[in-house]
Structure 1
Amino acid sequence: MDEHKHYPIDSAGRAVESNVPIVNADISVDSARSHVLAGMSRFETINYVYVTDAGGNLVGVLSIKELFRADKAKKISEIMKKDVIRVHPYSDQERAVVLSLRRSIKAVPVVDHDGKFLGVIPSDRVLSILHSEHIEDLLHVVGVQKSLHEVQSLGTESAYELFRRRIPWLLIGLIAGVLAAWLIRSFQFILEQELLLAAFIPAIVYLSDAVGNQTQVLFIRNLTFQELFKMSSYAWREVRIGALTAATLAVIFSAIGGAISGSREIAATLGITLVFSILAAMGVAMFVPWLLLKFNQDPALASGPFSTALRDISSLFIYFTVASLVLKSLS
């Protein structure tokens, strides 16, 4: 199979076995039997005999049983099946598995775009692909969007390679922390006017991150089943959930904040901030994984640090903007 390694890792061409019985359509059944028996020890699979023309194009197929039951004087062209199930080498391996199961065939022929016979995907390889696809589906359920091959390679990657994959997203978190510090400094005049606002910064950021992380985990998992529902309907449902969640938490948080601070301005600020920051956090939690998946990035690896950074900055910006407006209007 070394000659097929130039095909993509998950393509049908990568799984091709070329060492199979191949005969010409014009020879007799007796000659075909002799050819199969002579090569019995070297063939990798002998479920079927594949029939090609002078140019190597696949024109028919017959089973070993059909070959040895037929009249030996007949030509292969008289007994072969001309309507042959086939896949192209760049087709996904899963397509070959589906054809094998639906058509009850033990090996799936692979031909190029000119019809030239390249070989078959044998039954043992079909079972191996089916097993791999099932594992990938289970990985997708828990939010891992990588292929099985990519997941298996994680165990053999060097420390430097893992460092190289992780550090860019962590640097984003570091930059976000610096931006958050700059943002707080920019609203220093608000803190000077009402110092108690600083005491609620951890709670605002935590609640936004908690709701955002919850939404993000569920959304990444549900990306696996996006064929089963409309994304717009899913997003609208999440907006309604977010509105109910934000309203509930905002009422409770503003009441507690008002009781602690004894200030209606702070109570109003906390309630309004929490509504908008939670809705923003949920929006980020759905948009970032979807965008990363579109660019073939693993949302489970990349969206965590990136989304957290966006949520933290947006929550702080909303908090101080609302505080400045509320204090200005109620003062």
Structure 2
Amino acid sequence: MVKPVAIVRSMLDLLERKNLRGFLKLAEKAEPADLGDVLGSLDEETRLEVVEALPPNVSGPALVEMADEHQAEETLELLAERSPEAARNIVEELADDEAADLVGGLDPADQERLLASVEDREEIEELLRYDPETAGGLMTAAVVTVRASETAGDAIDSLRRQAEEIEDFAQVYVVDDGDHLLGVLPIKALVTSPAGRPVQDLMEDTEIRVSPETDQEEVARLMGRYNVPAVPVVDGAGKLLGQVTFDDVIDVVESEQTEDLLQFGGTSADEELSAPWSGAVRSRLPWLAINLCTAFLAGWVASLFKEEISRVLALIFWMPIIAGMGGNGGTQALAVTVRRVALGLIPEGHARRVILKEVIAGLVNGLIIGLIAICVAILLGHGAKLGIVVLLAMMGNLFVAGFAGGFIPILLGRLGVDPAVASSIFVTTFTDVCGFLLLFGLTRMIIGA
């Protein structure tokens, strides 16, 4: 078995040696994800030439699998300008949901030009009506259905006919004459039942169904919670519109995790890995500016205690330690709580318990770290009194870190704000300001003049 990395390197090596024939031969045997990595590694002109040379049933899935969606969309747009027929063939070879994902990033005018000559364009245009981050934007209209009035034998014959049109299917849905969803037909029950048994006796109720407007994260959460391979999408009247399959949800989970990670680090979720440095500056500068304002607040608090700092110069040593430990403790609590909020793991009425857990963990960690800090303070000759100040400041700041890291994301989630976006800024501000207030305030109280 050839490893994916080796295949990608082999294809890139063939392109570098201008061996297009060898590349095309290997590319047709490669998985779309591997070929997508190859396309993403090429410059714009070379990528366009390769896509033109590949058969549409190979290049289309590879474009869909590219890590950078903007690169894939730009390639299709350029190909549509250079060779409209080639672009049309690619779209026609794709499943309706994949075609909608690829075409959806184009401008409306470019979409209209590209879809003008596409066969079965109505299915793609129907999917394009929905927000791409909803169940309607994820679903495919290609579903396998049988009528409740049919027998098991009739249903099997129907599946054979539909299998010629639909490449893969995870669920068989039972509908009435008006295409209203009635239930799901288990394959095992179908093939092991007598041919004359009614489908209505074999089907199972499907309580798990979503509307086209359901957020994609909610769809992913439902599929993960109930371990189903697909979720049916129905309209307000219960009519079956399509289904969201597990492979689409895997992409959603990866995309959402990447988005949360970038936002958690104070970077825009829109920043692509292939974006130039100017794009990185535009996406990161606003968050850095906000962080600068909060840093000014922490600096202003420290300036209120100039006399204490001038009398006890050792405070300069302990300032970044107290602030840094508080920031790290807050980040730990924040990461756990944001994860809980994102997965819906905080039942109604359990928010206090979650916050209390983080507060207690912060106090205990602060006590242990503070005791170590006392020993260091004494060894450095800073004195026992300053060691006690550091102990109390450490405990207090990690208490604040635990409270802020638990409370703020829960509050933002209740307010409908993504906790991954803004939580870290607020938590860092809390721990910096409170850390300095505790360190200098306790110095004034315990050490005094």
Q: TM-score, normalised by structure 1?
A: 0.66
**What does 1:127-142 correspond to in 2, within 5 Å?**
127=247, 129-130=249-250, 133=253
Alignment pair present for 1:317 and 2:441: no
Residue in 1 aligned with 2:317? Answer: 203
Residue in 1 aligned with 2:374? Answer: 250
Alignment pair present for 1:241 and 2:365: yes
CA-to-aligned-CA distance 1:49-77 (integer Å, 9 cap, x gap): 53322332122454678379754xx5855
Q: Please, what is the CA RMSD of the aligned residues?
A: 4.5
Residue in 2 aligned with 1:57? Answer: 180
**What does 1:1-331 correspond to in 2, within 5 Å?**
1=97, 2=100, 3-4=126-127, 6=130, 9=133, 12-26=135-149, 36=159, 38-45=161-168, 49-62=172-185, 66=190, 71=195, 80-81=202-203, 83-84=205-206, 86-89=208-211, 90=214, 91-101=218-228, 107-121=230-244, 125-127=245-247, 129-130=249-250, 133=253, 154-155=272-273, 159=277, 162-179=280-297, 182-183=300-301, 185-190=303-308, 195-197=310-312, 199-223=313-337, 224=339, 227=345, 230-231=353-354, 232-250=356-374, 252-253=376-377, 256-258=380-382, 268=385, 270-294=386-410, 295=412, 296-297=417-418, 299=420, 306-326=426-446
Percent identity, aligned pairs only, is 20
Matches of 1:32 and 1:183 in 2, distance apart? 74
Query: Match of 1:83, SS?
Result: coil
Q: 1:100, 1:108 within 8 Å by CA — same for their partners in 2?
A: no
Unaligned runs of 5+ in 1: 260-266
Matches of 1:163 and 1:151 in 2, distance apart? 13
Matches of 1:320 and 1:107 in 2, distance apart? 58
| CA shift in 2, pair 1:139/1:22, >3 Å | closer
More displaced 10-residue stretch of structure 1: 237-246 or 151-160: 151-160
Q: 2:327, 2:432 within 8 Å by CA — same for their partners in 1?
A: no
Matches of 2:438 and 2:276 in 1, distance apart? 42
Query: Match of 1:22, SS?
Result: strand
Matches of 2:445 and 2:207 in 1, distance apart? 69
Query: Match of 1:92, SS?
Result: helix
| CA shift in 2, pair 1:210/1:42, >3 Å | same
| CA shift in 2, pair 1:134/1:307, >3 Å | closer
Task: Decide which structure has the larger Cα Rg and report it.
Answer: 1
Matches of 1:239 and 1:50 in 2, distance apart? 54
Q: TM-score, normalised by structure 2?
A: 0.52
Following superposition, the deviation at residue 208 of structure 1 comes to 0.3
Matches of 2:171 and 2:447 in 1, distance apart? 82
The one-letter amino acid paired with 1:277 is A
| CA shift in 2, pair 1:213/1:58, >3 Å | same
Figure out how many residues of one structure are paired with residues of the other and give that number.
301
Q: 2:152, 2:193 within 8 Å by CA — same for their partners in 1?
A: no
CA-to-aligned-CA distance 1:86-133 (integer Å, 9 cap, x gap): 4223252242355455xxxx6543334532212234xxx324535764
The one-letter amino acid paired with 2:395 is L
| CA shift in 2, pair 1:58/1:239, >3 Å | same
